[in-house]
A = this chain, B = another copy of it.
Amino acid sequence: MKFLIIGGDAAGMSAASRAKRKKTDMEVTVLEQTMDVSYSACGMPYNIADPDRDMEKLVVRKAEVFIEKNKINLLTGHKAEKIDPINKLVTGVDINNNQFSFPYDKLLIATGASPIIPEIPGFNLPEVMALKSLEHGKKIKAFIEQKNIKKAVILGMGYIGLEMCEALTKRSVKVDMIKPRPVFLPWMTPELADVIKNELEANNINLFLGHKIERIEPDKKGLSIKCDDFSIDADLVIVAIGVTPNSDIAIDAGIKTGISNAISVDSTLLTSDKDIYAAGDCADAIHVVTKKKCWIPLALRANRAGWAVADNLCGLETKLKGVAGTAVFKVFSLEVARTGLSTKEALDAGFDPAEISIKTRSRAHGQPGSKTIYVSMTGDKKTGQLLGVQMVGKEGVAHRINAAAVALHSNMTVKDFSETDLAYAPPFGPVWDPLLTAANQLIKKL
């Protein structure tokens, strides 16, 4: 069987490796447009922060290893341009401008997502950069070091923007952040969002909310970022407004897309074409809380979906249940985590949500080193169901959130969750874990 994969990132390489491991006689070909495969994209901000670590350290497995050891026909520098689903053929152009064409029996589209670059004058200047591929990462890191960058502006205040904020600060680059909409982290409960905002400001980050960027211009000192009501200088602009699924190649082939323009897949990762799968940041998923389609591009899902495609191809029928949208990130000394729906998302999804926000401690009474933990929890008044949790704190947040994520997968009620037997020892938490305290409080509102 000829298994062709477009895209050699998390989903694509997971699928390729697993398929080849399960069926050694399968012909597995991967077309990757860049020169890098299998690297920790999420590790880039942390690597940029550290002058002593080479970016190559983020590469988990080199292309040669996939080719020689795993016997995968991995072709880097190969940009797929067109899928012909009638003749089951993918065509494109390689790095030397040679046309190529590959037939397939089964195809996996794992094209990922791309940073959104607004169509505004100046976004094509060399000092204006996005962070998605390893190439981007290397470019930004080299730029900071070679140009002795002192001042950066980050456009956008999402996960990547916030992580880059810390990374640049660590490199002694002064950072300002700008976003057009007035609300900081709009998906987050305001009390918790304020904690993060304060942490940023305490680290000397200026947040400019509600400023529309009109153009970026080169000036004597570097760049001038012109907003509708003010302008600001910088040596470097990081564009972190958001990402969009790379689904054009699928759309052109007549494959169905849905929410956020992501490729629509069923629980086996099959698209509207019975021989074409899609996985990773280009594809949608079912949300375990809403039971509706969602597009939440995250690394674990990409890896898991890649495996599931391989399993399905190898006759091991695998249906993925869905995602809870569990995420964690670090903002200076804060751990920030979420799973499930925010109260606003719950309202939009037709629930009748109640929310509680609590402030408690990361360790037991009388235990030194205890830090404040903020928990916001949302439940449904109609059914009592747990809908989502958000947490912020200096310790004990990143892994705590997972207990709530598992509860969402089980469709637990807030009451049932409040009765779970969570671990307790004084150095690690109060007797009533912050999650349980939040659940106990939320019950009263349901």
A329–B425 CB distance below 8 A = yes
A364 at the interface (CB under 8 A from B): yes
Residues from chain B with a CB closer than 8 A to the CB of A358 are none
A325 at the interface (CB under 8 A from B): yes
A8-67 contacts to B (CB < 8 Å): 10, 40, 42-43, 46-47, 50, 53, 57-58, 60
CA distance A328 to B406 in the complex (A): 19
Stretch in A117-125, A183-191, A293-301 touching the partner: A293-301
- A299-B431, A303-B431, A427-B46 known; A365 vs B421 contact (CB < 8 Å): no
A337 at the interface (CB under 8 A from B): yes
Residues from chain B with a CB closer than 8 A to the CB of A435 are 402
> Which of A398, A409, A421, A429 has the most CB atoms of chain B within a 10 A radius of its CB?
A421
A116 at the interface (CB under 8 A from B): no
Stretch in A227-235, A348-356, A374-382, A412-420 touching the partner: A412-420
A421–B40 CB distance below 8 A = no
CA distance A420 to B406 in the complex (A): 6
State the number of copies, please: 2
Residues from chain B with a CB closer than 8 A to the CB of A322 are 421
CA distance A422 to B404 in the complex (A): 9
A284 at the interface (CB under 8 A from B): no
A144 at the interface (CB under 8 A from B): no
A426 CB, min distance to chain B CBs, angstroms: 4
Chain A interface residue count: which class? 35 or more
CA distance A404 to B301 in the complex (A): 19
CA distance A398 to B437 in the complex (A): 18
A407 CB, min distance to chain B CBs, angstroms: 5
A209 CB, min distance to chain B CBs, angstroms: 24
Identity of the chain B residue whose Cβ is nearest the Cβ of A411 in the assembled complex: B410
A423–B398 CB distance below 8 A = yes
- A396-B399, A400-B402 known; A424 vs B368 contact (CB < 8 Å): no
Residues from chain B with a CB closer than 8 A to the CB of A281 are none
A395 CB, min distance to chain B CBs, angstroms: 9
**Contacting A423 at CB < 8 Å: which of B320, B368, B399?**
B399
- A43-B364, A365-B58, A433-B402 known; A330 vs B425 contact (CB < 8 Å): yes
**Contacting A399 at CB < 8 Å: which of B43, B300, B407, B429?**
B429
B321–A416 CB distance below 8 A = yes
A428–B398 CB distance below 8 A = yes
Residues from chain B with a CB closer than 8 A to the CB of A427 are 46, 330, 398
Identity of the chain B residue whose Cβ is nearest the Cβ of A58 in the assembled complex: B366
Residues from chain B with a CB closer than 8 A to the CB of A412 are 406, 409-410
A57 CB, min distance to chain B CBs, angstroms: 4
Residues from chain B with a CB closer than 8 A to the CB of A10 are 431
A299–B424 CB distance below 8 A = yes
Residues from chain B with a CB closer than 8 A to the CB of A416 are 321, 409
Please encode chain A, from 250 to 271, with 1 for each CB lying within 8 Å of some chain B CB and 0 for all others. Answer: 0000000000000000000000
CA distance A291 to B303 in the complex (A): 36
A14 CB, min distance to chain B CBs, angstroms: 10
A304 CB, min distance to chain B CBs, angstroms: 7
CA distance A57 to B339 in the complex (A): 35
Closest 3 CB pairs of A and B: A410-B410, A402-B403, A398-B428
Q: Name A residues whose Cβ lies closer than 8 Å to a Cβ of B.
A: 10, 40, 42-43, 46-47, 50, 53, 57-58, 60, 288, 298-301, 303-304, 320-330, 335, 337, 339, 364-368, 396, 398-407, 409-410, 412, 416-417, 419-429, 431-433, 435-436
Between A and B, 6 residue pairs with Cβ closer than 8 Å are: A40-B364, A298-B421, A299-B424, A303-B432, A330-B427, A335-B428
